[in-house]
Structure 1
Amino acid sequence: MATTEDFLTPAAMAIPKEGYFERIEGAHGPIYPKTPANYGFSVMGKVLPGREQAIRDYATTIEAAVKETPGVLAPLKLHYLRWILFPIGDDLYFMYQGIFDTDFDKYLDDAVSLFLATGITTVFVNLEGWPEDWKDNLPAVIRFFREHQVPSFLEYAEYPWVSADEIKKALRLKASLTTALDQLQ
């Protein structure tokens, strides 16, 4: 368990090329380490021709889903997501970067379950190599993510080792204290 001092001292971690320090097998392959920023991954894939607008529209779908049901993505224990479209030569690529509080295996299991439960499809259907039978073929989905994962080699956190739930608790406490102090004035 990290101490309060650990939370207050910025931390950086250089990560080997393989993406892990010691190969420990999880249910779906090697487990990537928890870093000061927590768990996460970056997935990069080539966009199917003509699908750029579908990807941009899907971002609007996620925005609307979160606005309608703020906790819709809660099972993923996310800190943040970042989606990027960028050209390489004549091709367009998509990068999905996420930081979350669960390991890679649990995140993938939870993500597929979430999409199946909500009926929201996944942005990855717009990428080359995404399995058409993804709803019924978890091994193919796992294979896609393993093949398209680009491990980071440095992760930094200004507030290291802190979960999203801990951050929310601290912010709720701050809001409560602010309200209490305002009442005293």
Structure 2
Amino acid sequence: MTVVLKVGKISALTAITKIVSGHAPALRQTLQGLTAANGGKISSLGTIHIVRWVIFDDDTRLLFATNFDGDVEDYMRDFAERAPDGIDAIWGHCEGYPGARDYPKLRDYILGSAIETTGYYCAYPNSTVADINKALDWKAKFDTFLDQIG
């Protein structure tokens, strides 16, 4: 069973972990704060197309679904090294979480909770986040140019 799906330059990972009893309200508040901050440190990683956390099953489980550029090892190491406090703030509410600062244990925890992807679609499998940002920058410049000559 392959738990990390790779299509072109894009990888996908989905994991489900069990929330510590009574921790769902605090976890929900943490996740809502992350959304309100437009990703905070997560957005600075520069390889994430989408990341989503969903509390479900009567507040007992947490679904983590993400699409990202490149290799899962690089992706998870980025999380562990560049945003450990944020990762701890999320998964610290889940059973058996080893903490972000011990990368091998973090990797084993997330991959050990990962599930196989049964269906997947990616509109631009060979376009990284950097490629997309570059194209959007060029479009903005072109639009400005057209406005100036128009």
TM range (shorter): 0.7 to 0.9
Structure-2 separation of matches of 1:94 and 1:52: 9
**Structure-2 separation of matches of 1:159 and 1:136:** 33
Counterpart among 17, 21, 26 of residue 49 in structure 1: 21
Q: Could you give the per-residue CA deviations for residues 8-44 of structure 1, whole angstroms, max 9, x where no partner exists?
A: xxxxxxxxxx127xxxxxxxxxxx4521571121110
The match for 1:19 is 2
Identity %: 23
CA distance in 1, matches of 2:80, 2:20: 21
The runs of 4+ residues in structure 1 deviating greater than 4 Å are: 64-67
Higher gyration radius (CA): 1
Secondary structure of the equivalent of 1:162? coil
Tell whether the 8 Å contact from 1:81 to 1:99 is kept in structure 2 after alignment.
Answer: yes
Partner of 2:61: 93
Query: How many equivalent pairs are there?
Result: 149
Q: Which structure has the higher relative contact order (CA within 8 Å, separation 6+)? A: 1
Gaps of 5+ in 1: 1-17, 21-31
Work out the CA distance in 1 between the residues paired with 2:145 and 2:46: 33
Counterpart of 2:51, as a letter, is: L
Q: Deviations over 1:65-109 (max 9, x none)?
A: 547x6x65322510011111111xx66211011111121111111
The alignment status of 1:61 with 2:61, answered yes or no, reads no
**Counterpart residue type for residue 68 of structure 2:** F
Gaps of 5+ in 2: none
Contact 2:46 2:130 in 1 (8 A): no
CA distance in 2, matches of 1:76, 1:51: 30
Aligned 8 A contact 2:28 2:55 in 1: no
Instruction: Write out per-residue CA displacement over residues 137-184 of structure 1, whole angstroms, 9 at most, x where no aligned residue.
Output: 322212211210112133212222211111111111111111111111
| Structure 2 equivalent of residue 5 of structure 1 | none
Whether the 8 Å CA contact 2:80–2:100 is kept in 1: the answer is yes
Q: Are 1:34 and 2:34 an aligned pair? A: no
Task: Report the TM-score, using the length of structure 1 for normalisation.
Answer: 0.70
Structure 2 length normalisation: TM-score? 0.85
